Each structure stands twice: as structure tokens, then as C-alpha cells.
Amino acid sequence: MDDVILKLHGMVKSFGSTKAVQDVSMELRKGQVLALIGENGSGKSTLMSMVTGTLQPDKGRMELKGKEYVPDSIIAAGNSGVCILIQELGTIDGLTVAENIFLGKEKRFASGFRVSSRRMNQAADELLQSMGVSHFDAKTEVDALSFEERKLIEVCRAMYNDPDILIVDETTTALSHTGREKIYTIIENLKKQQKAVVFISHDLDEVQKVCDSAMILRDGSYIGTLYGEEVTPENMRQMMIGRDLSGNYYRTKGTTYVKEEVALDVRNIQYGILHDVSFQLHRGEILGLGGLTECGMHELCKIVFGAIKPDAGEVELTENHVKITSPAVAIKNHIAYLPKDRDNESLFLMTSIKDNITVASMDRLRNGPFITRKRERDLADQAAGQLSVKMRDVEQLTKELSGGNKQKVVVAKWMANESDILIMDCPTRGIDIGVKAAIYKLMEQLISEGKAILMVSEEIPELLGMSDRILIMKDGTINGEFDRSEEVTEKSLIEKLI
Amino acid sequence: MKTVKNIMAKYALMLIVPIAGFLVLWLVFPKAVGARNIPSLLKQAIAPAVLGWGVLFNMKVGNWDFSVGSEVLISSIIGGNLAIMYGLGMPGMLVLTVLIGLMAGAAVGLVYYMLKIPTIIVSIGMLLIYESLGSYVFGGAGVYIPSGWKLLGTGALFAIAGVSAALSYFLFYRSGIGYHVRAVGNNASVAAVNGLNVYKVKVFSIAIAGMFSGIYAMVCLGTSGVQKTVGSMNSMGTCFDAMMCVFVGMSISRRGNLIAGIFCGSIVMQLIKLCLMACGFPSEYNSIVIAVFVLAFMAMDSRARASAAGKRKSRAAGVA
């Protein structure tokens, strides 16, 4: 019993009528790497929010190293040895690496009012060295660093507390292979030091690789725990969904709806890292665009939608020869864009589902200068219903939805606008396999109706499983093109990708 | 070599803009502008820069504090009159104006902290209270300091500017509160997740701006010798002068030292006034021209920053 670090007893948390966590108990032992898995909305993040003090439980109690544990903030949790790495970016522009690492802890380097930047930089450099980071130093301003490098700073911040428990909350989703490997090494080291790790991820293969046990939640309730050899994607999937998904939810091989007609012509785009990028998107086609996180593919999506003005090149709708120069032009011509960062770039979290769905369809709803509430509500109801968004009603605040359901709202918005061309940047990022399957099914339905989809993905199986054609980008240029075929394998894509 | 290059990159623009501006004026108006204007230009740039060094804290954390001008007003009137009443002389007046400015700023901050409503509303409310207070205390006569106290010659003025700049630099770049101000200013939500009390940081920023209002009050009293009462929100204009210096300073300092940038920004604002004078522009149009200049400057700067951010991002992507 002595090796139990954290014990949760009968944890309960509700938001209004929604029971997010229902009577969940858990034990975490020294040296254990426990995966916490479940569909979006299963209660994983809520449970961990209670452990890190960002939410207070309605019922239940926690014990840390045998003592009552009641954290009232993420700082209190950190001081007790419970640290968390979050999915989104947690560093601050305009500050140096050292200032970011020691944010909120600068008193350790203060004498009187004065904070010694020399001592702070020295400590940060030592920490960076111990983490094997050598290509930037403590004085570097974080603005100059890539997403992955900035994630490493967050890791350094967490490790500085010498945590007994590290919670990795979908952090790896946004990282490349190299970035993920660094996190795995840290987890391995913590395990060797008899510390514990709670690992949250939707990537079941990754869970199998990293974790020695997996606890499954469904609809806020505890379902079971798998140990050792039992931790397989099939077992986990079965317990998460409660039904057999038979492994394959991608498109059936051999089916194609691709037409000769070109929907969108992208010519000679130059912007930042992007160099002379050209391609054509056909009606009825899913064109997959893959590459490492920062190869320029995400910027390319924004350019195609008109959200970024390229230094050179153009995007043209072939049907009417309209040049896409702004999002307003794109929306008017029924082009949809689902950004990678949906919370910040796609949704108004503090407004209703209805407002989010109808925002791109105001022209359709307008009757002269008036918009009737009924028409607005009907459109939102219809689009949300089509996508089976799990909600109380369309007046519910969007921020209260799980990640997968938020993504459904984004898709519903563009469905309501009757979009013909969809630019989907990582459409299944951070969402569970149930919603993933629904989105894949919808994508296939859309192309069968003659619509065209440009899909950016950082997951190779998704590219292979869904695309009619795949473009692989490397350092801002198209480095390879593959047609849908049995002969195209993960290996052939990776060869062009790295 | 790399260090020299870094310093050049950080400070080049902030030096080039005022120097080039002055040279252009000299070339275009050789009769009205010359080397003889330099000392007075620098001297006139001091007061707005002093207030700007305080307003910087507010602007960085996103406070819209329009009460700064009214804090100047009451620190001058109360501090000046108390110093006269007790015969404390110039040093005593300095201490009192700074202290009253700090207290007035802290009071605005506390009201904001307690009510938790936007700073723009709180500051306008407090501005009205302070303006009324200024018209009520000491018989509503404002303050006229004895002529012997008007000792602020160029040397003393530059000394006060130097101390104010050093104080602002220390608070902004070297103290814990400055560290928090920069963190909250750049990303309040991440700062909060890391344990910073965002409200507290905003309150401290308002109080610091109040303290610099006191120094500014002292500089103004020391040079003009008088502070009349003001009403109908007329004190608000004072903070706009300082805000413009900060806007321009932020633009030209880029990644360099903001304190030096604000002083250079203040010189740029004085150059514009000099230009208007040389052109024979009626003074009542000064504000319009200055406002148009600042808007144009900010628009150009915003585009330049967006382009630089894009390049930085590309560079970062290249590294990865």
C-alpha cells in the first residue's frame, strides 16, 4: 500500500444538469504510467482538473502520499508535487525563456524588490542543459521559437518543480515525432525515478507504447482498468465505446467520386516558408495534405481561404474565375475553413451554439434588413441535428461542449452555409474515435455529393485512409504526390516527409 | 560582433527616427530650425516622457486609465499647497507630490479591485472626483508656488528625468512587479494559470502610473510655478500626450529598451510641434495634426510588425 502516491475516492462533479464525473475512484502508484482514456466528454479532463485544483469536486476526497489533498489552484497542486502539461500553448510572448520557465516563481531569485536576471538565467540554462536542450538558451525570447521548442519550455517549467506526479494532457497531439520522443523520454525517466505519470491521449497506439496501464472512463463513469499486455488499441477501443467499431472507420478502398472538373486552382504561392506551391482540387475529391507540423501546410490552408495574403501567387475558383482574396470572398463563394486551433480561430466559446452555427449564413437568413429569430433557430436546429451534436439545445453555450462536439458545431456552421469546398485543417485533432468516425462518414457523404475537400492531417493513417490523392510537404514545398492506391504505404509517405 | 549587431538592431530605429526627423526639419526650414533648438527640444520632451514612463505600466497590462491627468492635478494642488503651508521647500514638495500621486493612483486601483468593472469606467469616475476635489480644497485657488521654488533649471530637470527613467527602468525590467506587468501584458490567461493575480498586477500598474503623475506634477510646477483648477474632464488631455509618447516609443523601440524608446517618442512629438510652428500652423489645429500623425504612424507600425512576425514565424519554422 505504501507505493500508492495518489488516491481518489468517489469523485463527483456536475455542471448544471450534466454529470461530468460520477463516483470515480482511482489509485496511482510509484513508477506507474497510467493512461486516462475515453471519448470526448467522458470526464478525463474534469477529473484531472480536480486533481490539479482548477475545479473543486462536488463530492469525494483525494489523498496525496497518504495525506488529505485539497488543492485550490494549479499553483497549490504544483507546490504539492502535482504538475500538468496542457495541450495548448502555455508560454508568453515578449518574455525570455528563463522568464517563462520561472513565471510566478521569480521570488526565488529576488532580493528585496530586485529580481536577479543573472541568477534566473543561470538556473534556466542549467535546467535546459539537464533536459538536453542546447539549440537555444535562457536569454532567448520565446517569440523566436517554434511551437515545439516552446512546449519544451513548459516541460522545463513543470520539471523544475520536481513533480511526484506529472499529468500529460493531450500534449503530444500537437507535436511532431521528435517532440513526442522527447516527452516519452521524460516519462521514462520519471518512471525510473519512481514518480508517476497520468497520460491522456486519443492516440491509442501511442498509449500502448508509453503506458503500463490504462483507465477507461465513459460518460463520466469508471469503466475499468487494463494492465500490461491487456493495453491494446482493440481492448481500449472496445471499453471506450462500449460497442465494436471493428477497427476500420476510414473510407472503403476502391470507392471514388473524383470528377474531372477542377474546383479550385492554387498557383505559385509564396509566403514565409512556402515556396512556389501549386495544386488543383477536383470536385468529389479529398485531397490530403501532409507533412511535419511546421512545413507550411497550416499557413497554406489560411492562404487558400483568403485569411493570409500571400507574397505572390493566387487562389482561383475555376467555375467563375473568382480570386480568393479574403475570407469574406471565400464564404460568399461557399468555401469553408475548419482551422486546427478551433477554440481560438473558429468558435465564439462564450456564445450559443446557435450563434456559432448561423454566423456564416447571415446573408441566407436575412430578410431585407431583418433576421428573424425563428429562421435563425430553425437553421441551427437543422444543422446541429444533422451532425448529432450532443447538447441541451442550440441555446447552450459552446464552451460547455466537449472537444468533439465543438468540432461538430464548426462543421455544422459550414454545412448551414451550404459549402461546396471545405478546407479542413486537422479535422479530427483531439477528438475521440466515435466523433472521428462520424466526421469521416460525413466527409465521404460530402464528396459523393460532388463537393471538394482539402484535408490537412498530421496523422499518416488518416491521410492514407481518407484521401483520393496525397500531397506531402517538406520545408514549404510539395515534395511528393500519391494517388489513392494499395501500394502507397506509411513508409512511402514518411520517406517524402522527412 | 553578434552583441554589437543585436544592440544596433534594438536601438537603431529609436535613434534614427528623431535624428532623421530633426535633420529633415533643419533642411526644410533652415531659418526656423537649427542646432540652437536641440536643448529646448530635449527639455520639452522631459515632462511628457516622465508621465509616459508611468503610463507605460497601464498600457502594457491593458488598463485604460484616464484619471492620470486628474492625479497630476491633485498632487500639484494638495502637494504644492501643503509644502507652502509647512514651508517644506522644493524637496518637501517633491516628496509630497509623489506621495499624493501614488496614493491617488492606489485609490483608483483599489476601487477597480473592489468593483471589478472596466478600468475605463473606474478611471473616468475617479477623474471626476479628483477634479472636484482639486476645485474644493484650498479654496479652489489651485496652487502658486513661491518664485524662489521655481529652481528647475536645465540641470535639475535633467536630474529628475534621469532618476525617473532609472526608476521606471528598474520597476519595469528588474523588479518582480515589472516582470508580472510584462507577463500579464503579453498573455493574461497564461500568466493567471502560472499563479499571477492579474487584478493585483493591474492595480499595481495603476498605482505606479499615479506615482509618476506626482513626479510629472512636480516637473510642471517647478517649471511653470502654477497649477490652476480644472473641471469638465479637461484633465484628460494630459494623459493623451503621455500615451502618444508611449505609442510612438513602443513602435520605434521594437525589441529594445522601452524607457529609452518613450523618451525618443516624446522627442518625436516635440518635433511635430516644432514642424507645425515652422509651417505657421495655427496652434488650435495642433491636436488634429498630432492625432493624424499618430494614427498614420501606428498604421505603418502595425503593418511592419505583422510582416516581421510573419518572417519570425517562418524563421522559427525553418529552425524546427
pLDDT at residue A23, as a whole number? 92
Residue % of chain B over a pLDDT of 90: 41
CB B234 within 8 A of CB B67: no
Q: Which domain holds residue B197?
A: 47-233
pLDDT in tens, B28-41: 888 878 888 888 88
Q: Are strands A370-371 and A366-367 parallel, antiparallel or unpaired?
A: antiparallel
> Domain range holding A398?
262-497
Q: What is the band of B311 on the pLDDT scale with cuts at 50, 70, 90? A: low
What is the rounded CA–CA span in Å between residue B65 and residue B59? 8
Number of domains in chain A: 2
Q: Are residues A206 and A339 in the same domain?
A: no
Contacts of A475 in chain B (CB under 8 A): 318
Question: What pLDDT, on the 0 to 100 scale, is given for residue B153?
Answer: 67
Task: Select the more confidently predicted residue: B301 or B48.
Answer: B48
**Number of domain units in chain B:** 1
What are phi and psi for residue B211, nearest 5 degrees?
-60, -45
Is there a single domain that holds both residue A412 and residue A312?
yes
Query: Taking Cα atoms as reference points, which of B108, A53, A155, B180 lies closest to residue B188?
Result: B180
- Residues A136, A266: one domain? no
Test mutation, B7, B61, B254, B319, chain A, max A CBs within 10 A: B319
Q: Are residues A453 and A314 in the same domain?
A: yes
Give the per-residue pLDDT at B317.
46
Say if B250 is an interface residue toward chain A (CB within 8 Å).
no
- Residue B137 neighbours by CB under 8 Å, 6+ apart: B74, B77, B78, B81
For residues A91 and A162, membership in a common domain is answered with: yes
ipTM entry = 0.73
Residues A304 and A211 occupy one common structural domain? no
Query: CA quadruple A316, A467, A470, A486: dihedral positive or negative?
Result: negative
Q: Which of A182, A211, A241 is the last residue of a domain?
A: A241
B54 domain-assigned? yes
A167 chain-B contacts, CB cut-off 8 A: none
Query: Chain B partners of A146 at a C-beta cutoff of 8 Å?
Result: 316-317, 319-320
What's the per-residue H, E or C state across chain A? Answer: CCCEEEEEEEEEEEECCEEEEEEEEEEEECCCEEEEECCCCCCHHHHHHHHCCCCCCCEEEEEECCEECCCCCHHHHHHCCEEEECCCCCCCCCCEHHHHHCCCCHHHHEECCEECHHHHHHHHHHHHHHCCCCCCCCCCEHHHCCHHHHHHHHHHHHHHCCCCEEEEECHHHHCCHHHHHHHHHHHHHHHHCCCEEEEECCCHHHHHHHCCEEEEEECCEEEEEEEHHHCCHHHHHHHHHCCCCCCCCCCCCCCCCCCCCEEEEEEEEEECCEEEEEEEEECCCEEEEEECCCCCHHHHHHHHCCCCCCCEEEEEECCCCEECCCHHHHHHCCEEEECCCHHHHCCCCCCEHHHHHHHHHHHHHEECCEECHHHHHHHHHHHHHHCCCCCCCCCCEHHHCCHHHHHHHHHHHHHHCCCCEEEEECCCCCCCHHHHHHHHHHHHHHHHCCCEEEEEECCHHHHHHHCCEEEEEECCEEEEEEECCCCCCHHHHHHHHC
Global pTM reads 0.68
**Residue A204 shares a structural domain with residue A328:** no
Burial (0-12, 13-18, 19+ Cβ within 10 Å), A301 = buried
A115 contacts B176? CB cut-off 8 A: yes
Residue in B179, B182, B190 closest to A90 by CB: B190
Question: In terms of domains, do A269 and A233 share one?
Answer: no
pLDDT bin (cut points 50, 70, 90) of residue B99 is: very high
| Residue A382 CB contacts under 8 Å (≥ 6 apart), including other chains | A416
- Do A331 and A222 fall within a single domain? no
Residue among A75, A94, A272 minimizing CB distance to B314? A272
Q: Give the separation between CA B103 and CA B78, rounded to whole angstroms.
A: 12
Same domain, A190 and A305: no
What pLDDT was estimated at residue B320? 32
Q: What are the backbone dihedrals phi and psi of residue B116, each rounded to the nearest 5 degrees, phi first?
A: 55, 45
The residue of chain B with its CA nearest to that of A93 is B186
Alpha-carbon span B166 to A224, nearest angstrom: 62
Q: Chain B: residue nearest A136 by CA?
A: B319
Cβ pairs A/B, distance under 8 A = 90
Preferred mutation among A49, A100, A161, A294 to probe B, highest tally of B CBs within 10 A: A294
pLDDT above 60: residue B237: yes
pLDDT reported for residue A11: 95
* Mutation for testing the B interface, residue in A49, A113, A116 having most B CBs under 10 Å: A113
Q: Across chain B, what does the average pLDDT equal? A: 86
Asked if B194's CB is within 8 angstroms of A103's CB, the reply is yes
In a domain, A249, yes or no: no
Does a structural domain hold residue B313? Answer: no
Please give the sequence-ordered ranges of beta strands (E in DSSP) within B117-273, or none if there are none. 143-144, 226-227
Residue linked to cell 488543383 = A280
On whether residue B285 sits in a domain, the answer given is no
CATH number of residue A341's parent domain: 3.40.50.300
**Do A50 and A21 fall into the same domain?**
yes
Of B179, B315, B319, the CB nearest to A115: B179
Q: What is the pLDDT of residue A478?
A: 93
Closest chain B residue to A275, measured at CA: B314
Cβ of A94 and B186 within 8 Å? yes
Q: How far is A105 from chain B (nearest CA, A)?
A: 9
| pLDDT tens per residue across all 498 residues of chain A | 468 999 999 999 987 656 789 999 999 999 999 999 887 668 888 899 999 988 899 999 999 999 999 998 888 888 899 988 876 667 888 889 999 998 888 888 888 888 888 999 999 999 888 877 777 889 888 887 877 788 888 888 888 888 899 998 877 766 777 778 888 888 998 899 999 999 998 788 889 999 999 999 987 899 999 999 999 988 887 787 665 444 567 877 778 899 999 999 999 999 988 999 999 999 999 999 998 777 889 999 999 999 999 999 999 999 899 999 999 899 889 999 998 887 778 888 888 999 999 888 887 787 777 878 888 899 999 989 888 888 888 999 888 887 788 888 998 988 888 899 999 999 887 777 778 888 898 899 999 999 999 999 987 888 999 999 999 998 889 999 999 888 888 778 877 776
Interface of A with B (CB under 8 A): 73-75, 78, 89-95, 99, 103-104, 106-107, 110, 113-115, 117, 135, 141, 143-149, 157, 176, 271-273, 292-296, 475-476
What's the confidence (pLDDT) of residue B318?
A: 41
Q: Which amino acid is at B159?
A: A
